[in-house]
Amino acid sequence: MNAIYLDHAATTPLAPEAYAAMQPWLQEQYGNPASDHAYGRRAKQAVERARAQVAALLGATAEEILFTSGATESNNLAIKGALEFRGLEDAHLVTARTEHKCVLDSVRYLESRGLRVTWLKPDASGVIPAEAVLAALTPATAMVSLMWVNNELGSVNPVQQLAPLLRERGVLFHVDAVQAAGKLPINLAETPIDLLSVSAHKIYGPKGVGALFVRKRPRARLSPQMHGGGHEQGMRSGTLATHQIVGMGEAFRLAGERQTADAALYAALRDRLWARLSALPRVLRNGSAEGAPHILNVSFAGVEGEALRAMLPALMVSSGSACSSATREPSYVLRALGRDDALANASLRFSLGRANSEAEIDQAAAQVIEAVLWLREINGEPVGEGAAAVPGDNVYDYPPAIWQHFSSAGEHAGCFPAGTPGLLSLRAENRAAASTLGLQLRLGEDGRVEEARFQALGCPVGIAVGSWLARQTLGQTPAALRALDVRQLRVALEIPEDKLHCALMGEDLLRQIPTGP
């Protein structure tokens, strides 16, 4: 199965033009741009050309661009640098709960040192309304830090509307524009933003390099966060990585050249994908059609996120959770939007790039639809035609026994028709993992299980537990099943430590078998 890469908001491949531009600076041209000799001066010229290329995409001047190791560093430098320069005493900052982690953590760090912070919530489509920002300002507000485009949702904050209003009020405005650069027009000559962060690897440049725009007039002042040789106007010491910077410059030049065409392609593919996915019942778009062109975020009700991803081994997308075990961490952005944990976990972010085609979008949509229908059927939902999928490759390396029972789950999953005689129905739930497991046992006249079906909303391990139990119960008496030891389940399925809750759910289920006749 061919891989389909739809994770360009996480990172993009390096543009061939950027790759070619970087080559000489990796080997032949190794001078230090800070050195005062021919090699050094040549490297410095290359750095300054790149600085001008980055500035051009943003409508800034070259002297307003500082190179960093990426947007994480740019955001740290902007927020900590500006507030430390001003002094934290009596300082207040306005930001949003939906910012990137590196902004949240920089702000929390300053909060622990006395900064007062207002954390804004997004509206239903993930946007931070301008009115909410203005209403949060106090005479002590030193900075507003807001992202231009949200990296999970694609929602676009009203930064252009806010910039002049914050300038009038003398409040410093920092914007994380990582997901906006190259997708939306940015003109800092006309938009009075004071500090703006960008990254190279989100727009076909190399990883490990970014920039911070620091306005010259009026001048935004920063305390350096990296001390040393005084590079980058004393605000970011460290030998400049010429090859990375040259690659970034070329990627930004290319992004400027292609911006209109890129944005049109992304929007068309995004709309095509949504048109296909929204044909499924019970799907929810996170964000809105007015968002940035390259991002589509969708929640799928009635399935569990890890199982959904396991069903899609060829699809490179991001999910709504950072989950590995019983304690899932659903995306804080989706939670801020009001999605519950289960729905946040069962969300996929598709983000588009230059090489994506309509055929890939159609394949991706078909794979997702098949997987969702299959998992809903495993959970006992009558989905009708179309749930023919079976899991593909075990790319997440589940233990073989688990994978085998997960892959063949369709054989024993589902529900008996209502009113089936001699039916014993059991159900268990694990709220923390947002999982449920159901088992229906049809008992014969001799009191033994003649047929069993299970329903599972859970990760592949939870589904494998259901599938295994359904097979195990055949021919058994309820009393024998009740006595099943969870250790047996663990060993049979090689359940890892961090998935023990799935085995416990199976045990819980069997404990519900009535003891009496």
Ligand X SMILES: Cc1ncc(COP(=O)(O)O)c(C=O)c1O
Question: What's the closest the beta carbon of residue 200 comes to ligand X, in angstroms?
Answer: 7
Which of the residues 68 through 87 are near ligand X (CB under 6 A)?
70-72
Which of the residues 99 through 138 are near ligand X (CB under 6 A)?
100, 102
Indicate the pairing of strand 172-176 with strand 116-120: unpaired
Residues 6+ apart with CB under 8 A from 457: 302, 303, 304, 379, 434, 435, 436
The whole-angstrom separation of Cα 210 and Cα 200 is 5
Question: What's the closest the beta carbon of residue 197 comes to ligand X, in angstroms?
Answer: 7
Q: For ligand X, which stretch binds (CB under 6 A), given 86-94, 164-172, 174-182, 433-441?
A: 174-182
- For residue 108, what are the CA distances in angstroms to 69, 71, 112, 196, 472? 21, 17, 6, 20, 51
- The sign of the CA dihedral 426, 427, 428, 433 is positive
Question: What's the closest the beta carbon of residue 180 comes to ligand X, in angstroms?
Answer: 9
The whole-angstrom separation of Cα 490 and Cα 336 is 37
When the beta carbons of 145 and 199 are compared against ligand X, the nearer one is 199
The whole-angstrom separation of Cα 197 and Cα 74 is 5
Beta bridge partners of 153: none
Question: What's the closest the beta carbon of residue 324 comes to ligand X, in angstroms?
Answer: 20
When the beta carbons of 178 and 509 are compared against ligand X, the nearer one is 178
- How many residues of this chain interact with ligand X, rule: CB under 6 A? 12
Task: Among 12, 67, 80, 176, indicate the residue that binds ligand X (CB under 6 A).
Answer: 176
When the beta carbons of 68 and 407 are compared against ligand X, the nearer one is 68
Q: Does 330 bind ligand X (CB under 6 A)?
A: no
Q: For ligand X, which stretch binds (CB under 6 A), given 77-85, 108-116, 171-179, 288-296?
A: 171-179
When the beta carbons of 199 and 259 are compared against ligand X, the nearer one is 199
When the beta carbons of 107 and 481 are compared against ligand X, the nearer one is 107
Residues 6+ apart with CB under 8 A from 168: none
Residues 6+ apart with CB under 8 A from 24: none
Question: What's the closest the beta carbon of residue 184 comes to ligand X, in angstroms?
Answer: 13
Q: For ligand X, which stretch binds (CB under 6 A), given 67-75, 137-145, 218-226, 418-426?
A: 67-75
Q: Does 178 bind ligand X (CB under 6 A)?
A: yes
When the beta carbons of 160 and 179 are compared against ligand X, the nearer one is 179
Which of the residues 183 through 222 are near ligand X (CB under 6 A)?
199, 210
Q: What is the CA radius of gyration of the chain?
A: 27
When the beta carbons of 64 and 176 are compared against ligand X, the nearer one is 176
Q: Does 231 bind ligand X (CB under 6 A)?
A: no
Q: For ligand X, which stretch binds (CB under 6 A), given 118-126, 176-184, 413-421, 496-504?
A: 176-184
- For residue 295, what are the CA distances in angstroms to 64, 74, 196, 408? 29, 23, 21, 34
- Has 323 been annotated as catalytic? yes
When the beta carbons of 100 and 270 are compared against ligand X, the nearer one is 100
181-197 burial, b at 16+ Cβ within 10 Å, e below that, comes to bbbbebebeebbbbbbb
At residue 107, φ and ψ (nearest 5 deg) are -70, -40
Q: Does 224 bind ligand X (CB under 6 A)?
A: no
Q: What is the DSSP string of 427-470?
A: EEEETTTTEEEEEEEEE-TTSSEEEEEEEEES-HHHHHHHHHHH
Q: Does 147 bind ligand X (CB under 6 A)?
A: yes
Q: For ligand X, which stretch binds (CB under 6 A), given 66-74, 114-122, 225-233, 428-436?
A: 66-74
Question: What's the closest the beta carbon of residue 10 comes to ligand X, in angstroms?
Answer: 7
Task: Among 76, 95, 179, 318, indicate the residue that binds ligand X (CB under 6 A).
Answer: 179
Question: What's the closest the beta carbon of residue 24 comes to ligand X, in angstroms?
Answer: 24
Question: What's the closest the beta carbon of residue 313 comes to ligand X, in angstroms?
Answer: 23
The whole-angstrom separation of Cα 95 and Cα 75 is 13
Sheet bearing 435-443, strands edge to edge: 423-430, 435-443, 449-457
* Catalytic residue (one of 323, 415, 459, 502): 323
Measured from each CB, the residue nearest to ligand X is 70
Question: Closest Cα partner for 349 from 335, 336, 331?
Answer: 331
Q: What is the Cβ-side half-sphere exposure of residue 497, based on CA atoms within 13 angstroms?
A: 0
In the complex, the residues that contact ligand X under the rule CB under 6 A are 70-72, 100, 102, 147, 151, 176, 178-179, 199, 210
Q: Which residues are catalytic?
A: 323
